[in-house]
Amino acid sequence: MSIEDTEVDRVRDAVLEAGRIAMRFFGKKHDRWEKGPGQIVTEADLAIDRYLHATLRRERAEDGWLSEETVDDRHRLERRRVWVVDPIDGTRSFAEGTPEFAVSVALLVENRPILGFVYNPAKDELFEGVRGRGARLHGRPLRASAATALEGARICASRSESRRRNFGALLPQVELVTLGSLAYKLALVAAGRFDAYLSWRRTNDWDIAAALLLLEEAGAVATDARGEPLALNRPEPLHAGILAAPPALHAALLAATAPAYAAMRAGIPALGPSGA
């Protein structure tokens, strides 16, 4: 499942251009609307999606395609190579003018990511990974945190979810940090800026595919909230939450959160400050 340097360079150039398109809209007045309850989309999302669809498949029109902003074509399930794209991950932050968003692009071969880019153009941070060759930020190798225990660990999460699920009460021994864009948060875990990431939300392939490669190449482990492996390019590209951390910390985080997650899924009211 090797990839030519020329293709890596071509995709990097496309991701950088996608970031430039995003910055033409960022912090300026532009059209935005709800495509579903609580789901914002902007004209920038669609412009980037059109550009990446045309550019990434130019060399191989037979490649499969899965994007948040494109109607799902199930022919991807029959393709050896599939592009998985989120034109702007963290659209709400983008629309609000907060620099916590990213362009996320992954190439899957036989349903495994072999190339992944997560680019936050507002901060000029380009995270990239190639299977077997490591992960980098502007050419500097990424390494996940060396943390092994929950005590004092810095864990990033979604603002709204952390508040709603009361992660602070569930994990009083950790430092919870909240910010936007799932792909960007996972990239920051791969870079060792945070020790772990926690979410119980349903997650889509386009949110995580590129970052999963970054995490793996940086020495971290990523599973769903139950500790199950994350399989990409399935008929329904959904996952039951995400836990990402270096191996020992991942085991500790899973042990501390799995019972509460199972109770939540079963509809059992939370105990303590957040519930009855």
Is residue 149 situated within a structural domain? Answer: no
Q: How many domains does the chain have?
A: 2
Q: What is the CATH number of the domain that holds 260?
A: 3.40.190.80
Indicate if the pLDDT at residue 48 is higher than 80. yes
Is residue 272 situated within a structural domain? Answer: no
pLDDT digits (tens, 9 = 90+) for 104-152: 999 999 999 999 999 999 999 999 999 999 999 998 999 999 999 999 9
- Paired tokens of 246: 């270096």
Instruction: Look over the chain and give the mean of its residue pLDDT values, rounded to a whole number.
Output: 93
Residues contacting residue 184 through CB under 8 Å, at least 6 positions apart: 89, 90, 100, 101, 102, 118, 120
Q: What is the CATH number of the domain that holds 18?
A: 3.30.540.10
Total count of residues recorded for the chain:
276
Q: Domain boundary residue among 93, 118, 141? A: 141
Residues 162, 122, single domain; the answer is no
pLDDT for res 274: 31
Residues contacting residue 240 through CB under 8 Å, at least 6 positions apart: 200, 202, 224, 225, 226, 228
Indicate if the pLDDT at residue 52 is higher than 60. yes
Residues 109, 165, single domain; the answer is no
Per the structure, the complete domain to which residue 166 belongs is given by 154-266
Instruction: Tell me whether residue 146 is exposed, middle or buried, using C-beta atoms within 10 angstroms of its C-beta: 0 to 12, 13 to 18, 19 or more.
Output: exposed
Q: Domain boundary residue among 83, 118, 141? A: 141
pLDDT for res 77: 97
Q: Domain boundary residue among 141, 176, 196? A: 141
pTM score of the predicted model: 0.94
pLDDT digits (tens, 9 = 90+) for 160-204: 899 999 999 999 999 999 998 999 999 999 999 999 999 999 999
pLDDT for res 267: 87
pLDDT digits (tens, 9 = 90+) for 218-270: 999 999 999 999 999 999 999 999 999 999 999 999 999 999 999 998 888 65
Return the number of other C-beta atoms located less than 10 Å from residue 40's C-beta: 17
- Paired tokens of 245: 């951390």
Alpha-carbon separation of residue 254 from 98, 216, 249 (angstroms): 31, 18, 8
> Buried b vs exposed e over 41-79: b needs ≥16 C-beta within 10 Å?
bbebbebbbebbbebbeeeeeebbbbbbbbeeeeebeeb
Residues 84, 206, single domain; the answer is no
Indicate if the pLDDT at residue 75 is higher than 60. yes
Indicate if the pLDDT at residue 86 is higher than 70. yes
